Amino acid sequence: MAQSVPQRPRVGRPPRISREEVLAAARRVVEEGGVGSLTMRRLAAEVGSTPMALYHHVKDKEELLLLLLDDYAAGLARPALPEDPRERLVTAALAMHDALAGCAWVVEVLVADDLMSDAGLWYAENIVDAAVACGLTPERAVHAYRSIWYYTAGEIIIRAAGRRRAADDRPTHRERVFADLDEETLPRLASIGGRWATLTAQDTYRQGLEALVEGLLP
């Protein structure tokens, strides 16, 4: 029915910017200053155009963010996974965590529309499948995946927030609170005192993951 069009008959004004250019610029902006710094106006300046020209290449800001996400997900390496299902589960979860950690801004978008994009499903697929191979029913495997996802997303989000806080020089609310803990009502925290900051700065993602997996599998 529809005959193939060898060359689209381009009519009208020739484009000055392309969707790819817009996306590339958006990626630059977001990598440098976080999602918060990505505004249509700033992006327009970056590509040397006007805010409204952008709307000819993306529907709106939300679509722009989703495209950015797809793009990032598509570029992710898919590590070879071990045969042993339990190891496969842990390895896939670690890879998922690395994918998120490597790109702080994704999280802010992620939470708005969970489970990144098609490419992100690879992690879910492998984790659920490995959990089934470990002996869980499909239902419990999905629940296990969710627990791991909560743990992973929580870690990423909270660490990202921590970094943002550290970037501001002024002492945070939390530091002030920890500086004068009441030994009467909070003896344990008071005894930990200054070590809290260093202890919580340590990367214990893997440790916690393994504990979680230990408890989740039969």
Partner DNA sequence: ACCTGAACACCGTTCAAGT
Name the site residues for a copy of itself (rule: CB under 8 A): 66, 111-115, 117-118, 121-122, 124-125, 128-129, 132, 138-139, 142-144, 146-147, 149-155, 157-158, 161-162, 165, 172-174, 177, 181, 185-189, 191-192, 195-196, 199-200, 202, 204, 207-208, 210-216
Measured from the CB atom, is 74 or 158 closer to a copy of itself? 158
Interactions with DNA, residue window 4-23 (CB under 7 A): 10-17
Measured from the CB atom, is 18 or 166 closer to a copy of itself? 166
Tell me: does residue 38 bind DNA (CB under 7 A): yes
What residue type is assigned to position 74 of the chain? A
Tell me: does residue 143 bind DNA (CB under 7 A): no
Tell me: does residue 42 bind DNA (CB under 7 A): yes
CB under 5 to 8 A by kind: which of DNA, a copy of itself, none does 42 bind?
Answer: DNA
* Residue 143 C-beta: closest distance to a copy of itself, Å: 5
Helix (H), strand (E) at residue 47: helix 40-47
CB under 5 to 8 A by kind: which of DNA, a copy of itself, none does 214 bind?
Answer: a copy of itself
**Residues, the chain, total?**
218
Q: Say which residues have a Cβ less than 8 Å from residue 179's Cβ, sequence separation at least 6.
A: none
Would you tell me the crossing angle of helices 121-133 and 138-167 to the nearest 10 degrees?
Answer: 130
Which token pair is 164? 């943002």
3-state secondary structure (DSSP) of residue 6: coil
Give 23's DSSP letter: H
Tell me: does residue 142 bind DNA (CB under 7 A): no
* Residue 166 C-beta: closest distance to a copy of itself, Å: 12
Closest of 145, 152, 144, 77 to residue 107, by C-alpha: 152
Q: How far apart are CA 33 and CA 157, in angstroms?
A: 16
